[in-house]
Chain A
Amino acid sequence: MGMEGIGARVARKEDRRFVTGAGRYVDDMVVPGMKHAAFVRSPHAHAEIKGIDVSAAQKKPGVIAVLTGKELKTDGIGNLICGWMIHSKDGSPMNMGAWSPLAVDKVRYVGDAVAIVVADTKAQARDAAEAVEVSYDEKDAVTDAAAALKKGAPQLHPEAANNLIYDWEIGDSAAADKAIASAAHVTTMHIVNNRLVPNAMEPRAALGHYDKAEDHYTCWTTSQNPHVARLVMSAFYNVAPENKLRVIAPDVGGGFGSKIYIYPEEIVCLWASKKSGVPVKWVADRTESFLTDAHGRDHVSEVKLALDKDNKITALKVDTIANFGAYMSLFSSAVPTYLYATLLSGQYVIPAIHCNVRAVYTNTAPVDAYRGAGRPEATYLLERTIETAAREVGLSPAEFRSKNFIREFPYQTPVIMNYDAGDYETSLKAAMKAADYDGFAARRDAAKKKGKLRGIGMSCYIEACGIAPSAAVGSLGAGVGLWESAEVRVNGVGTIEVLTGSHSHGQGHETTFAQLVSDRFGVPLDSVSIVHGDTDKVQMGMGTYGSRSGAVGMSAIAKALDKVEAKAKKIAAHLLEADEGDIVIENGELKVAGTDKTVPWFQMALAAYTAHNLPEGMEPGLKEGAFYDPSNFTFPAGCYVCEVEVDPDTGDTEIVQFVAADDFGNIINPMIVEGQVHGGIAQGVGQALLEGCQYDAGSGQLVTASYMDYTMPRADDLPSFKVSTSNTPCPSNPLGIKGCGEAGAIGSPPAVINAITDAIGNNDLTMPATPQKVWAALNAN
C-alpha cells in the first residue's frame, strides 16, 4: 500500500466542505421561481375520506395550488409498490394493498398524505394546509401486529383478508420438530424486537422541477439510490419516462435505510410542479419524519432451541410475526424473509432450522429496512437464545458458542446461505482479550462493594452483505438486479474521474473509492474525483444499502480499472517500444520492468487523446465502464462484548465498556471502517437502552413523534468503544471486501441485553431496557 492507497488511514477528501458549512443538501437547493409545499396529512390512524374542501385554503395568502389524490389519479400517477414478490407457503402471491401517493378514499395511518399545498413561502403553505377541510369517517385502528391477525380486528385493505400479507416459511419443519422432541435440553424464548425510527439527521426532502420548454423533469431528493428512484418513478408511478426524468441526490445527511425507498412526497412534488407550473420544494419537519419515514424492526417471535446431551445445537424453530404498517414499502417484504430467516444459523452448526413468518398490516407507518434490515432481528433472537441456553446448561457463554461454531468453509446452512469464509474463534478470542473477560469476576466484586450490579454479555453475529447476486435474488422474488456499475474516465492530463452507481450519504466514498484508484496507478488522491448521485452523469446504478458499496460498488470500479490498466499498458508499450506484458505501473509511471524506460502516467493519457501515435487500430481516448454482479453474498462476522453497571436503586444502566472484534475481510481505510462500527454500535445501544417507537393502541397516534419523546442516543449515553478487526478475505469479490456498514447495529443489541440480564439475574427483559423496566425486572421476585 502507498501513503494514500488501500489500507491507508487517509483523512476524508469530502470533509472540507462539510466542516465549513459548504455541503449541499436538498434543502439548500434553490431553483429560480421555486415555491414551497406542505402536505395535508391524516390526523386519524384509520378513516374513510368523505370529502375534501380546498376552497378556503385556495384563498389563503400566497397559495398557488391545492391538489388532491383525485386529480393525481385522473392524471394517471400510479400506486406505490413493493418490489420484492414473496409467496406464502400455500403458493399464493403476497397480498399487496393499494397505496396511492395521495390518499383518495381512505387513510390508514396518522400522517398518510391527503393533499399538497403549494405557496410562495413554506409558512404560507403550512397555514393554507391547515385550512384544507377534510371530512373523515373515523374507524377503529389496530397498531399491534398480533392483534391485527385476530378475528374481528379492523381491516386495512380489501386485498389482504385478516390483514395478512403473507404466511411464509423456510427450512424443514418436521426435522426441527423431531430434533426438539428428542432433545436433551430445549431453551424456549419469547423475543420482541422493538420498533425503531431511523432518524437520519437530515429530514427527507424533495424538489420537483418540471421544465415546460424541454418537457423534462428534475427531482432533487434525499435518496440513497437515485437511479432506482428514477427507474421506479418511470416504470411504475408514471411520473415521466426515464429519458425525461433526472434524479439528483446531492449531499444526503444520513440514510440508514430510510432513504432507499421512493416515498409519496417526491412523486407528488414532481407531479405538482407540472400541474402548478412552478418548481416545488418540500422539506419534512422532524415530526413529519417520525410519522412518515419507513420505520424499522417490529418483530415478535417464539423460539425453541434444541441441544443434545453434549450441548451441541440440534435444531432451531422460530415463529415470527412482522408488523408492516399500513402499506408495503419498496423492499419491506424481503426484510423479515430473505434478509432475516436466512441468517438464523448465525455462526453455528444447526442441523435443522425452520422459521415461519407472518407479515401483517397495521395502522402504523410503513416498516422497511433499517440499518441491518432483518439481520439485527435474526441476531438478537439467536444471540439472546444462545446466551440463555448457555446459562441454562451451566456452560460459559463463550464455551457454549465455541463448541457450536462453524469451523469449515464453505459451509452450507439449512436456510439458503453458503458461508464462504470466516474464523469465528479468532473474533471471540480477540473480543474476550480486549474486554479482559477473565478479569470480570473481580470487577463485579468491586462494583458490588460500591453498591452496583455489574454484568457482562456477549454476541457473535453474522450478516449477509454485498447485496446481491442478481440471478439469485431474482429467483427469490426481487424485482431488480443488485449489481453495481462504474465508469473510469482518464482525462488528457491524467486526472481521473470515477463515476459510480453507489451513493455516499456519510460513508466517505469520495475518499475510499479514490484510494482504490490511487493504489492501482500510483497517482495522487487529489487527482481522482468521484462522481455520484446524478442520473444525468452516471448512467445507471443500484445505490447504497446493505453494506454493498465496498463489496459491490468498488468491485465494479476495480473491473473498470482492469480495462483502463490494460489499455494504458498497450499505449505505454507502444510509446516505449516494448512488449505490453513487460509494462508495470508504479508511482504514477508506466515502466518497462527491469529497465529505466518509463513514460509518466499523464503523458500516456495525453497520448491516448492526441492519438498521434497509438498502436495500430486502437481507438483514441481512455475511458472504460464495467458492471459487476456478485457471485455470492459476503459474510462479515464478529464478536461484541458489553459490560454494564446497573444501579439497583434506580434501574439505570451504564455501559462501562463496549468491545467490538469484527472480520470485514480486506479494508480500504481503517479510520472510516472504525467510524462505521462506532455509529452502528450507537444505534444498536440506542435500540437496546433508549429507543422505542410507541403508538397508542386505541387511537393509533404516534406517541413518540419528536426528540422530546423518542430517546436518541446522546454523547453521555455512550462510552468510547474498543474496536478491532481481523481478516479472512472474502473469496467471492476481487477486492476481498465483506462490508462494514451495518455490523455495529446488528451485533450490539443482544450483547447489551445479555449484559443487563446477567447483572440483574432476571432474563425477562425487553428492549429498550429503560431504568423503569430494569428496576421492575430486578424487583420482580
Chain B
Amino acid sequence: MSEVSMVVNGREVSGTVEDRTLLVHFLRENLGLTGTHVGCDTSQCGACVVHMDGKAVKSCSMLAAQAAGSEVVTIEGLAPGADLHPVQAAFKEHHGLQCGFCTPGMIMAAVDMIDRHPGGLDEKTVRAELEGNICRCTGYHNIVKAILAASEAMAKGKKAA
C-alpha cells in the first residue's frame, strides 16, 4: 500500500492505495470523481483523459503513485461553479456528444489541443490530434466542428482580454 497526495481540481487530497492502483481508479473510487471514464484496457480510447500539471494524460495508463505531488484537473474541475468552459459550451452548442461516455475525455483532450495550438486549428489538424480518443456515436463530425468553434472563440476571448 502507498500513501499518495496530490492536488485535484484545486483541492489537496490524499489516500492510501494499493501500489497497482491506477490514477483513474484513484479519481473515481477514492475521490468519487466519476466523470473520468474507463472505456478500454489498452490506453486507446481516451475516455480517461485528465490534465496533469497542465498536460493531457490518460489516467488509465499511469499509477496513482506516479501522479503523487502533481496537480490534476478532471472534467469536474474544468470550469468554476455553474460556468461551462468554452470547450464544454461548444460541445453542447454543436451537438458534439450523444451518449456522453467519451465526452469528458474528448473535452479534456480538446482543451489541451487548443492550448498547444495558439495559432489556431484547422479540420485536418483536429482530426489528426484526436487520434487518441474514440467516439462511437457522433462520427466525429460535430466533435471536430465544436473544437474548431471553441478554438476560435477562445482566440477571440484572448484578443479581447
Q: List residues of chain A with CB under 8 Å of any chain B CB.
A: 11-12, 14-25, 27-28, 30, 121, 123, 199-203, 251-254, 256, 285-287, 505-508, 671-672, 674-675, 678-683, 706-708, 712-716, 718, 720-721, 744
Contact = CB atoms under 8 A, between A and B. Distances in A.
Interface in B98-156: 98-104, 107, 123, 126-128, 130-131, 133-145
B32 to A, nearest CB: 8
Interface stretch (B36-44, B51-59, B63-71): B36-44
A715 B130 contact: yes
Contacts of B84: 16, 19-20
Given A12-B92, A16-B92, A286-B39, A256 B136 contact: yes
Nearest to A721: B141
A23 B37 CA distance: 10
Contacts of A12: 92, 95
B8 interface: no
A12 B88 CA distance: 13
B75 interface: yes
Contacts of A716: 127-128, 130-131
B26 interface: no
B6 interface: no
A682 B101 contact: no
Nearest to B134: A712
B134 A707 contact: yes
Nearest to B36: A21
6 contacts: A18-B97, A201-B45, A285-B41, A707-B134, A708-B44, A720-B123
Contacts of A251: 99-100
B3 interface: no
B135 A720 contact: no
Given A199-B136, A714-B134, A19 B39 contact: no
Given A11-B95, A20-B84, A715 B140 contact: yes
**Which 6 A-B pairs rank lowest in CB-CB distance, beginning with the nearest?**
A21-B35, A253-B101, A18-B100, A682-B139, A506-B99, A21-B75
A715 B99 contact: no
Contact of A253 (B28, B99, B144): B99
* Majority-rule SS of A interface residues: loop
Contact of B144 (A21, A203, A256, A715): A715
Contacts of B93: 11
Contacts, number: 184
A199 B76 CA distance: 26
B37 A506 contact: no
Contacts of A681: 139
A718 B134 contact: no
B138 A286 contact: no
Please indicate which of the listed interface residues B44, B78, B79, B128 has the most CB atoms of chain A within 10 Å of its own CB. Answer: B44
Contacts of A671: 95
Contact of B38 (A27, A30, A287): A27
What is the size category of the interface that chain B forms with chain A?
A: 35 or more
A683 B138 CA distance: 10
Contact of B20 (A123, A679, A680, A715): A123
Contact of A682 (B18, B74, B95, B140): B140
A254 B95 contact: no
B97 A15 contact: yes
Nearest to A124: B18
Most buried by A among B74, B98, B127: B98
A201 B136 contact: yes
B41 A286 contact: yes
A506 B100 contact: yes
Contacts of A507: 98
A400 to B, nearest CB: 29
Contacts of B126: 715
A11 B130 contact: no
B4 to A, nearest CB: 16
B102 A201 contact: yes
B102 to A, nearest CB: 5
Given A19-B107, A202-B99, A718-B140, A286 B34 contact: no
Contacts of A254: 98-99, 101, 136-137
B63 to A, nearest CB: 13
A714 B74 CA distance: 23
Given A254-B98, A715-B131, A19 B138 contact: no
Nearest to B32: A30
B6 to A, nearest CB: 18
B76 A675 contact: no
Nearest to A504: B99
Nearest to B90: A19
Nearest to A289: B40
A201 B76 contact: no
B33 interface: yes
B47 interface: yes
Nearest to B105: A201
B99 A672 contact: no
B42 to A, nearest CB: 5
A249 B104 CA distance: 20
Nearest to A675: B95
B141 A720 contact: yes
Given A18-B103, A199-B136, A201-B45, A675 B130 contact: no
Which interface residue of A30, A201, A671 has the most chain B CB atoms within 10 A?
Answer: A201
A676 B144 CA distance: 16
Contact of B138 (A15, A200, A287, A675): A675
A203 B126 CA distance: 26
